[in-house]
């Protein structure tokens, strides 16, 4: 039975699951509460008779938290398929389809600091849970927390009784990737590639697919280190110094990075320069349209690149814009049979696969792209900007005292200014926060955190100096400069 120590449930789902600090809110007790909430949700949906997948990443104690989830589900007479080893989130999601499961629980905090862990819920369609599903599980968690109604069956007993069954996650997933992107031509190429899985669950996947040919491939940080080498396992420039250095030292054509659970992707060109996530999304869209001849809707979050819109207009395909989070992007991809979906944080999903971010698949497409264009990566970026216009991205998160929350947010709720950073504002979008579009195509997005006194400022501008000016103007608007 769960023992409540607070009057309110600590289980709060964000844009992609529940995350919290280990041994504070993220405890075995609270993980079991979420598991019981999941069991109740499955029962209410009539899916409790179907198997359910439980996976986990390389974080501290993830396998034990996964075991705790399995114990609760088994006690609720749900047949559990428990990962036999740490696995990437997209691999766990794909296993839902191969096992005809009701869904999956993934123990991961993705790119969060090593001090955190988390819980992602994946429904039967193997993508991110939509807002209604997330809300339903969160409400169930409140009920379980209040009633202290957690059921539990010892894991070893559940295994011996066949209520929990261990399975290998990676094989079927890797087979699927090899169908989507033929590894043969990449394996037989003369490319030199450095991969950094950032000590995460995606280690070994790409080497498994591509070893044995003329391709030269080096994998960094490919052992378990729950400390993640002292950086957050997020594939952005500040965390990828080792990869950038390795690319130049080895004379590599490209550097590829995966986040902690391998659903996000980072890219470094042959000069050791990090290519930001907005440009990467533009590159992927351009490649699929220009070289592979794909057509279909493009789905993008409000915080990502206008390159998508300009390429969509050029090739006559629709662009669907959503609030931030794959819980919006994934459902929109399914609704519109989109060819690609992407977000500002480096998550990209592709038609013909699951409606889920997949860092390893994005990496395979980038290597295929290098062969198709037969140009250095930096030159492909130049080609993108020739085709779709300039893109310079900046972002800053600004904290402020809790007592100023209403004052700061209120500054954006009133009458909007007519100019920003010396540029006229063309229009304002309020899909998710406040997005100010300037007449030259640049924009500023202002979004607030729902859980902490934090405001996020994003911009994409037509030149680097303007990007910095727009961010400074945004901070001034918030009274936080």
User: For 286-295, 341-350, 412-421, which range has the lowest pLDDT when averaged over its residues?
Assistant: 412-421
Asked if 145 and 217 sit in the same domain, the reply is no
Residue 132 lies in a domain: yes
**pLDDT of 5 over the 50 cut:** no
Using 50, 70 and 90 to split pLDDT, how confident is the model at 409?
A: confident
The per-residue pLDDT for range 300-346, each reduced to its tens digit, is: 999 999 999 999 999 999 999 999 999 999 999 999 999 999 999 99
Whole-number Å distance between alpha carbons of 106 and 197: 18
| Strand ranges, E, within 289-442 | 298-301, 319-322, 340-342, 348-350, 392-399, 419-420, 423-429, 434-438
pLDDT of 1: 43
Beta bridge pairs of residue 301:
322
The per-residue pLDDT for range 80-124, each reduced to its tens digit, is: 999 999 999 999 999 999 999 999 999 999 999 999 999 999 999
What is the tally of structural domains in the chain?
3
**pLDDT of 477 over the 70 cut:** yes
Residue 227 lies in a domain: yes
Asked if 230 and 152 sit in the same domain, the reply is no
pLDDT of 242: 97
Residue 22 lies in a domain: yes
User: For 129-133, 155-159, 170-174, 400-404, which range has the lowest pLDDT when averaged over its residues?
Assistant: 400-404
Which tokens belong to 100?
Answer: 């005809």
Helices 377-388 and 359-373: crossing angle in degrees, nearest 10, is 90
**3-state DSSP call for residue 116?**
strand
Q: What is the mean pLDDT of residues 265-276?
A: 98
User: For 288-292, 311-315, 413-417, which range has the lowest pLDDT when averaged over its residues?
Assistant: 413-417
Asked if 349 and 462 sit in the same domain, the reply is no
Q: What is the mean pLDDT of residues 403-422?
A: 83
Asked if 381 and 411 sit in the same domain, the reply is no
Asked if 234 and 334 sit in the same domain, the reply is yes
Which tokens belong to 76?
Answer: 């609720």
Final residue of a domain: which of 142, 172, 202?
172
Final residue of a domain: which of 172, 207, 227?
172
Cα dist. 438→387, 443, 459 in Å? Answer: 21, 6, 11
Asked if 60 and 200 sit in the same domain, the reply is no
Estimate to the nearest angstrom the gap between the alpha carbon of 476 and the chain centroid.
30
Using 50, 70 and 90 to split pLDDT, how confident is the model at 407?
A: confident
pLDDT of 10: 85
User: For 179-183, 357-361, 470-474, which range has the lowest pLDDT when averaged over its residues?
Assistant: 470-474
Whole-number Å distance between alpha carbons of 56 and 361: 19
**pLDDT of 426 over the 70 cut:** yes
CATH number at residue 421: 3.30.310.50
pLDDT of 451: 61
Asked if 207 and 345 sit in the same domain, the reply is yes
User: For 86-100, 171-185, 278-292, 444-458, which range has the lowest pLDDT when averaged over its residues?
Assistant: 444-458
Give yes or no for a contact between 107 and 56, defined as CB atoms under 8 angstroms apart: yes
Asked if 205 and 299 sit in the same domain, the reply is yes
Using 50, 70 and 90 to split pLDDT, how confident is the model at 427?
A: very high
pLDDT of 7: 66
Q: What is the mean pLDDT of residues 432-447?
A: 94
Give yes or no for a contact between 31 and 82, defined as CB atoms under 8 angstroms apart: no
Tokens 């809707």 found at = 297
Asked if 317 and 257 sit in the same domain, the reply is yes
Asked if 354 and 410 sit in the same domain, the reply is no
The half-sphere exposure of 26 on its side-chain side, counting CA atoms within 13 A, is 23
Residue 269 lies in a domain: yes
Asked if 55 and 17 sit in the same domain, the reply is yes
Residue 316 lies in a domain: yes
**3-state DSSP call for residue 89?**
helix
CATH number at residue 343: 3.40.120.10
pLDDT of 381: 98
Select from 221, 184, 188 the least CA-distant residue to 203: 221
Residue 284 lies in a domain: yes
Residue 279 lies in a domain: yes
For 89, the domain range is 13-172
Residue 181 lies in a domain: no
**pLDDT of 238 over the 50 cut:** yes
Q: What is the mean pLDDT of residues 441-463?
A: 88
Final residue of a domain: which of 388, 414, 438?
388
Which tokens belong to 167?
Answer: 């399975």
Asked if 308 and 445 sit in the same domain, the reply is no
């Amino acid at each position: 039975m769960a023992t409540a120590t607070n009057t309110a449930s600590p289980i709060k789902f964000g844009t992609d699951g529940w995350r919290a600090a280990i041994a504070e809110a993220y405890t075995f007790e609270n993980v079991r509460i979420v598991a019981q909430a999941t069991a109740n949700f499955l029962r209410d949906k009539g899916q409790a008779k179907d198997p359910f997948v439980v996976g986990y990443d390389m974080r501290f104690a993830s396998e034990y938290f996964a075991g705790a989830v399995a114990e609760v589900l088994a006690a609720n007479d749900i047949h559990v398929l428990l990962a036999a080893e740490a696995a990437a989130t997209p691999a766990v999601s794909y296993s839902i389809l191969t096992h005809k499961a009701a869904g999956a629980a993934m123990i991961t905090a993705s790119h969060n600091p090593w001090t955190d862990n988390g819980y992602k819920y994946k429904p039967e369609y193997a993508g991110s849970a939509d807002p209604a599903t997330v809300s339903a599980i969160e409400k169930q968690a409140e009920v379980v927390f209040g009633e202290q109604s957690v059921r539990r069956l010892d894991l070893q007993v559940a295994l011996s009784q066949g209520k929990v069954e261990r399975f290998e996650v990676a094989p079927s997933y890797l087979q699927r990737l090899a169908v989507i992107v033929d590894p043969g031509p990449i394996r037989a190429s003369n490319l030199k590639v450095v991969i950094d899985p950032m000590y995460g669950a995606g280690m070994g996947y790409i080497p498994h697919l591509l070893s044995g040919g003329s391709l030269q491939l080096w994998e960094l940080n490919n052992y378990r280190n729950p400390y993640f080498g002292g950086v957050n396992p997020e594939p952005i420039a500040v965390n990828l110094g080792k990869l950038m250095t390795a690319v130049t030292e080895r004379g590599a054509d490209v550097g590829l990075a995966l986040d902690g659970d391998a659903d996000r992707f980072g890219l470094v060109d042959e000069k050791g320069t990090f290519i930001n996530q907005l440009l990467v999304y533009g590159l992927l869209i351009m490649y699929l349209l220009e070289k592979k001849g794909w057509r279909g809707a493009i789905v993008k979050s409000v915080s990502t690149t206008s390159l998508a819109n300009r390429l969509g207009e050029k090739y006559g395909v629709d662009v669907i814009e959503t609030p931030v989070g794959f819980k919006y992007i994934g459902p929109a991809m399914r609704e519109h049979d989109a060819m690609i979906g992407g977000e500002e944080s480096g998550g990209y999903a592709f038609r013909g696969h699951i409606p889920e971010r997949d860092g390893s698949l994005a990496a395979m497409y980038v290597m295929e792209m290098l062969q198709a264009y037969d140009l250095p990566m930096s030159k492909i970026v130049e080609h993108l900007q020739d085709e779709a216009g300039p893109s310079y991205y900046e972002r800053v998160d600004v904290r402020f005292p809790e007592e100023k929350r209403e004052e700061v947010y209120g500054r954006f709720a009133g009458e909007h200014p007519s100019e920003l950073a010396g540029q006229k504002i063309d229009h304002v979008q309020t899909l998710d926060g406040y997005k100010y579009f300037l007449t030259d195509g640049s924009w500023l997005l202002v979004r607030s955190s729902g859980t902490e006194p934090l405001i996020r400022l994003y911009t994409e501008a037509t030149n680097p100096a303007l990007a910095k000016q727009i961010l400074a103007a945004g901070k001034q608007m918030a009274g936080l400069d």
